[in-house]
Amino acid sequence: MPAVSFYLPEEVLKALRAEAKSRNLSVSRLIRTSVETQLDLEKRKKAKSEFLKAIRSSGLGTWKEAHKERTGESDDRS
């Protein structure tokens, strides 16, 4: 795995070290996991935004209406 170096303020590094120690992880693993989680969150936000655009352009109604219909359909299944 390629390495990356960057600078952090001392207080941020102290907080990272403390958090890593409390989770029994290395600082690099904690940073890697945090970055991966953030990137995944960004992908999900983008996917939701694209879904909402598709709903709006297709005339299916609002997010709440689509969600209500979807969850209602799930409840009716046996």
Q: pLDDT tens for residues 45-65?
A: 999 999 888 877 877 677 788
Q: Is residue 4 part of a domain?
A: no
Measured CA to CA, the distance from residue 48 to residue 1 in angstroms comes to 31
Q: Are 16 and 8 in contact (CB under 8 A)?
A: yes
Q: Is residue 3 part of a domain?
A: no
Between 11 and 66, name the one with better pLDDT.
11
Residues 6+ apart with CB under 8 A from 33: 25
Q: Is residue 5 part of a domain?
A: no
Measured CA to CA, the distance from residue 56 to residue 50 in angstroms comes to 10
pTM, 2 dp:
0.59
Q: Are 17 and 24 in contact (CB under 8 A)?
A: no
Number of domains in the chain: 1
Measured CA to CA, the distance from residue 41 to residue 46 in angstroms comes to 9
Retrieve residue 40's tokens: 């995944």
Domain range enclosing 42: 10-76
